[in-house]
Chain A
Amino acid sequence: MAGIDAVITDLHALEGLALEDSPLQRLDPRAKLLTTLLYIVCVVSFGRYELSALAPFAIFPVAMIAGGSLSLLPLLRRIVLLLPFPLMVGIFNPLIDREIMVQLGPLAISGGWISLASIFLRSLLTLGAALVLVSVTGFPAICAALERFRVPRVFVVQLLFLHRYLYVLAEEGGRMARAREFRSFGNRGMGIRPTTALLGTLLFRTWDRAGRIHHAMLCRGFRGEFPVRRTFRFGLRELLFTAGWSVLFLMLRMGNLSRIVGGLIMEVVR
């Protein structure tokens, strides 16, 4: 996770989108969460050499991006930053699996290249879907949905608190790191002792902050029960959204749309 600074900036951008008002943003988060999960399962359930059947699945993130008027750039930047690990692992596929699978005129493509391309496409689709989900839903709403799905309250509250103080503490950590950087030259000042002191200080501050927050909660009548608001409604729109996408995913999963379209095109060309 390099460059948390950049990440935080992107986070702000991503989350800002969830605050906007569009029919998609207003949809009950449970519908979006369920649909996204089913989508990801469908995408990863294909065999390793599957490529063409994956392509039509791009419709879901693209439609969500369009429908939620999300800006493409921060999304793409996040995804591109994260591709290296799957690709690093996948890059060995062409070296190991050299059996020729496709002959395109003079161009012979081995199974390894196809499975690598498949990994690439899978990454794009699954990571894109996850990011799009937060962008059109917002993290607190996702947490509320989790609570309705019977995820333990303790964990939901944990997620809400973590999210609330993510920015506050990341900024604090960032400030401390910068303050040290300004006063260190080369690697002096970046060694184990100063780092430890910095981390320890940050830890103390965090601990104190937890105490103050706890106090603030007590001041407002907290007695162990944490209210999580539930104003969502799983209505007809949600039902249609979930059912519609699910049917489409299953159809795309069963039949290969690309193959059919491609066959048609080839027929016409001939």
Chain B
Amino acid sequence: MSHHIVEVKGLSHVYPDGTHALRDVSFRITHGESVALIGANGAGKSTLLLHLNGYLVPTQGEVRVGDLPVTRTTLNEIRRSVGMVFQNPDDQLFMPTVFDDVAFGPLNLGLPPEEAERRVAQALEQVDALPLRGKPPYRLSAGEKKRVAIAAVLAMSPDILVMDEPTDGLDPFARRTLIGLLKEFRHTRIITSHDLDMVLELCQRAIVLHEGRVMADGPVLDIFRDEALLAACRLEPPLSMQGCPVCGGQGR
């Protein structure tokens, strides 16, 4: 079970052009938690996620997943247990059909074709996308693309799901479907977003990033009630917690 733990210690990252994207970030996420990483544009959320499966190498500090430090030698292990859903599904769905795309991971894991096929069907079923299996990705709607991208990750049976802005670019219905879907998952989940209403529904804990630093880390409701903190980090409380402009109700 210790697989599902993510620990970040003193992590800093400087891009080659000199941008300090992360400064001394530390936190620990334990099994089954659902954590939101929130912050304004450019706060460093995506950069942080890219460290969780070893795509970026820390300038300073350390990332551990389960019992393993994220290093060159552990990458294969790490990438199997950390499933990453990209912000733009077009970057993630690169194979000619939905089926091929979802099968890409299992086949790379060396599973025999029948087993891979079984996993693909199961993963597509889970996101309610089985009928799409024969379609090419460019013929999917944004919501369908997102769900297929999630299936592609699920097919590798990860322990931890990492999602960058999952509701980005979705219409209200697709967003609602997706949230319903994500609620079902029992994985450890790390979600970045500025869709704070979604965060409110899906996460118990939030980590606030601002200019590469952790500004707060605690229960979602506590953080969303701290308007001063949110304003300092260029955020706003979710709409469902703001007073209703029409009826004057007080929200949560």
Q: How far is the CB of A202 from chain B (nearest CB, A)?
A: 15
In the docked arrangement, what's the CA distance between A209 and B90, Å?
9
Q: Are A164 and B91 in contact (CB under 8 A)?
A: no
Cross-interface CB contact of B134 among A19, A209, A217, A218, cutoff 8 Å:
A19
Cross-interface CB contact of B91 among A15, A161, A209, cutoff 8 Å:
A209
Q: How far is the CB of A137 from chain B (nearest CB, A)?
A: 12
A197 at the interface (CB under 8 A from B): no
Chain A 196-226 interface 0/1 with B at a Cβ cutoff of 8 Å (1 = within):
0000000000000100110111111111010
Q: How far is the CB of A125 from chain B (nearest CB, A)?
A: 29
Residues of A within 8 A of B97 (CB): 140
- Nearest B residue to A166, CB-CB: B138
Within 123-176 of B, Cβ neighbours of A (below 8 Å) are at 134-139, 152-153, 156
Q: Are A221 and B109 in contact (CB under 8 A)?
A: yes
Q: Are B105 and A216 in contact (CB under 8 A)?
A: no
Q: Are B103 and A227 in contact (CB under 8 A)?
A: yes
Residues of B within 8 A of A217 (CB): 94, 104
B60 at the interface (CB under 8 A from A): no
Chain A 150-175 interface 0/1 with B at a Cβ cutoff of 8 Å (1 = within):
00000000001101110110000000
Residues of A within 8 A of B99 (CB): 229
- Nearest A residue to B104, CB-CB: A220
Q: Are A219 and B53 in contact (CB under 8 A)?
A: yes
B218 at the interface (CB under 8 A from A): no
Residues of A within 8 A of B108 (CB): 220-223, 225, 227
Q: Are B104 and A227 in contact (CB under 8 A)?
A: yes
Known contacts A167-B138, A221-B76, A229-B100; decide if A161 and B94 are in contact (CB<8 Å). yes
Q: How far is the CB of A67 from chain B (nearest CB, A)?
A: 20
Residues of B within 8 A of A209 (CB): 91
Most B CB within 10 A of own CB, among A160, A164, A213, A220: A220
From B13-21, B78-86, B202-210, B219-227, give the one contacting chain A: B78-86
In the docked arrangement, what's the CA distance between A217 and B55, Å?
11
Known contacts A216-B86, A217-B94; decide if A19 and B109 are in contact (CB<8 Å). no
Q: Are B92 and A216 in contact (CB under 8 A)?
A: yes
Residues of B within 8 A of A161 (CB): 94
Q: Are A212 and B86 in contact (CB under 8 A)?
A: yes
In the docked arrangement, what's the CA distance between A139 and B136, Å?
11
Q: Are A221 and B79 in contact (CB under 8 A)?
A: yes
Q: Are B94 and A218 in contact (CB under 8 A)?
A: no
Residues of B within 8 A of A220 (CB): 79, 104-105, 108, 152-153, 156
Q: Are A168 and B96 in contact (CB under 8 A)?
A: no
Residues of A within 8 A of B94 (CB): 161, 164-165, 213, 216-217
Residues of A within 8 A of B50 (CB): 215
Residues of B within 8 A of A164 (CB): 94-96, 136-138
Most A CB within 10 A of own CB, among B88, B108, B139, B152: B108
Cross-interface CB contact of B96 among A160, A218, A221, cutoff 8 Å:
A160
In the docked arrangement, what's the CA distance between A146 and B201, Å?
49
- Nearest A residue to B83, CB-CB: A219
In the docked arrangement, what's the CA distance between A216 and B153, Å?
10
- Nearest B residue to A163, CB-CB: B96
Q: How far is the CB of A13 from chain B (nearest CB, A)?
A: 12
Q: How far is the CB of B132 from chain A (nearest CB, A)?
A: 11
B107 at the interface (CB under 8 A from A): yes
In the docked arrangement, what's the CA distance between A238 and B79, Å?
42
Q: Are A212 and B136 in contact (CB under 8 A)?
A: no
In the docked arrangement, what's the CA distance between A163 and B80, Å?
28
Q: How far is the CB of B65 from chain A (nearest CB, A)?
A: 13
Residues of A within 8 A of B83 (CB): 219
Q: Are A218 and B135 in contact (CB under 8 A)?
A: no
Q: Are B105 and A221 in contact (CB under 8 A)?
A: yes
Residues of B within 8 A of A140 (CB): 96-97, 100, 136
Residues of B within 8 A of A223 (CB): 108
Q: How far is the CB of B74 from chain A (nearest CB, A)?
A: 14
- Nearest B residue to A212, CB-CB: B91
Question: Which 9 A-B residue pairings sit nearest by Cβ, starting from the closest?
Answer: A221-B108, A140-B96, A220-B105, A212-B91, A227-B107, A216-B92, A167-B138, A219-B84, A215-B55
Please report A residues at the B interface, Cβ cutoff 8 Å: 15-16, 19, 139-140, 143, 160-161, 163-165, 167-168, 209, 212-213, 215-223, 225, 227, 229
Given contacts A168-B90, A222-B108, 10 further A-B pairs with CB under 8 A are: A15-B136, A19-B139, A140-B96, A140-B97, A143-B96, A213-B92, A218-B79, A221-B156, A227-B108, A229-B99
List, sorted by A's number, 25 A–B pairs whose CB atoms are closer than 8 Å: A15-B136, A19-B134, A140-B97, A140-B136, A143-B96, A160-B96, A164-B96, A164-B136, A164-B138, A168-B138, A212-B86, A213-B92, A215-B50, A216-B84, A216-B86, A216-B94, A218-B75, A219-B84, A220-B104, A220-B108, A220-B153, A221-B76, A222-B108, A227-B107, A229-B103
